[in-house]
Amino acid sequence: MELKVGKIPHCVLWSFPGALSQIITNLVFNSINHAFTGIDKKQITLYSEIDSHSGALKLIYRDNGIGIPKTDQQAVFERYFTTRREAGGSGLGLSIVKALATNKLKGDLTFKSAPQKGVEFAFTLPLDISPKSP
């Protein structure tokens, strides 16, 4: 498997590094466990940039796997939704990713996928979510 890490902008992020680490870990494990069946050249790409309008960090995660079937796309972030229950899947991975991105990190999350075109998760995260003093 090939891991490509793209441009990483210089910025200071006042946030929760453990939550960001958990998001990336869950996405990588999801790709390994679900995306690469029958794929010879497995590839994960991760890159980031600063959004010029909002000043937020935009983090993009992609794999070149089999994609998420259209019939499953509306349910991927639902707790306990899995297509691999018989293989030990809990269905918590992407629901945790969404909860961490939107609740803990105060960001937005979108995704897109198409059969045999892989998946892309795009996170827009504020640079500073530290508690403000009154």
Is there a domain that residue 27 lies in? yes
Q: What's the pLDDT score for residue 87?
A: 57
Is there a domain that residue 130 lies in? no
pLDDT over threshold 80, residue 8: no
Show the domain range for 16. Answer: 2-125
pTM of the model as a whole: 0.88
Across 94-129, b (16+ Cβ under 10 Å) vs e yields bbbbbbbbeebbebebebebeeeebbebebbbbbee
Q: Which CATH number characterizes residue 23's domain?
A: 3.30.565.10
Is there a domain that residue 131 lies in? no
Is there a domain that residue 134 lies in? no
Mean pLDDT across 78-105: 79
Distance (Å, rounded) from C-alpha 30 to C-alpha 73?
14
Is there a domain that residue 92 lies in? yes
pLDDT over threshold 70, residue 106: yes
Report residue 63's pLDDT band, with 50, 70 and 90 as the boundaries.
very high
Number of independent structural domains in the chain: 1
Is there a domain that residue 132 lies in? no
Look-up: residue for tokens 């991760």? 46
pLDDT over threshold 90, residue 6: no
